[in-house]
Amino acid sequence: MRPAFRAWSKVTRRPPARRRLTLERLEDRALPSASPLDAAVPLGFDAFGAAHVSHFLSTPDEVDLYKVNLQAGDVLASDVRAQSAGSGLQSLLRVFDAQGRPLALDDQEGGDPHLRFQAAAAGTYYVGISSAPNDSDDPTIASSGTPGATTGLYNLDVHRTSASLQPDLTGSSFRLGAQTASAGESIPSRSPWTTAAAPTPAPSASRCCCRRATSSTAPRPCWRR
């Protein structure tokens, strides 16, 4: 009986080829940051053109923005109720255009702000509420202003109506001693454009917060005597 033989075959395996790793330095890139205007809350108006929102301003540097679309001539009357409702918030009320440029401001001292604004052109506008005296905040840059002094709950009431376009129909209330004047009312005043030198404003219990909205020139100060 013949012995059984096995045929062995030697298999030669080649080692895997080595690959050289290279590192490539990438250029520095900054991720685009979202503008606070993109996060603005749209105001919902009812059949009577009224909108209401309530919110708690939790930090002194917080700025709440509300978005509204207006037609040319539309009048926006905005009122904040905070201190009158028992809140400790001393608020500041502003209106911005679609690019975040300020158009109207009211930082009435000793009470809640309110203002009346008429859109000179159709477009998107923003109503901003912050803690006074934070009026330097840029709504296109988060946390860009000087923090205010108070926080608290506020109620915002906004009414939108249509009217014929009027020049400079933008203003807010301000105090003259114990009396209060509203936009459109006559007060004793002295214009720096009618005299050679602008007079020095007399001391007052609070500041005048009128702002021009339909002019490209600087806001006109209110001189009092």
The 10s digit of each residue's pLDDT in 123-148 is 999 999 999 998 888 999 887 888 99
Is position 26 within any domain? no
Q: What angle do CA 57, 61, 65 make, to 5 degrees?
A: 60
Q: Which domain holds residue 66?
A: 36-165
Strand partners, 106: 93
- Residue 217 pLDDT grade (very low, low, confident, very high; cuts 50, 70, 90): very low
Is position 144 within any domain? yes
| Total domains in the fold of the chain | 1
Please compute the mean of the pLDDT values over residues 99-106 and round it to a whole number: 92
CA separation for the pair 7, 218 (Å, rounded): 102
Is position 210 within any domain? no
- Residue 1 pLDDT grade (very low, low, confident, very high; cuts 50, 70, 90): low
- Residue 152 pLDDT grade (very low, low, confident, very high; cuts 50, 70, 90): very high
CA atoms within 13 A on the CB side of 56: 2
Is position 16 within any domain? no
pTM of the predicted structure, to 2 decimals: 0.63
Is position 112 within any domain? yes
Is position 140 within any domain? yes
| Cα dihedral: 192, 188, 164, 171 (round 10) | 80
pLDDT in tens, 156-198: 999 999 988 876 555 444 443 334 444 455 444 433 333 334 3
Q: What CATH number corresponds to the domain at position 44?
A: 2.60.120.380
CA separation for the pair 44, 158 (Å, rounded): 10
Is position 173 within any domain? no
Beta strand pairing status for 91-96 and 102-106? antiparallel
Is position 216 within any domain? no
Strand partners, 66: 41, 127
| CA-derived radius of gyration, the chain | 31
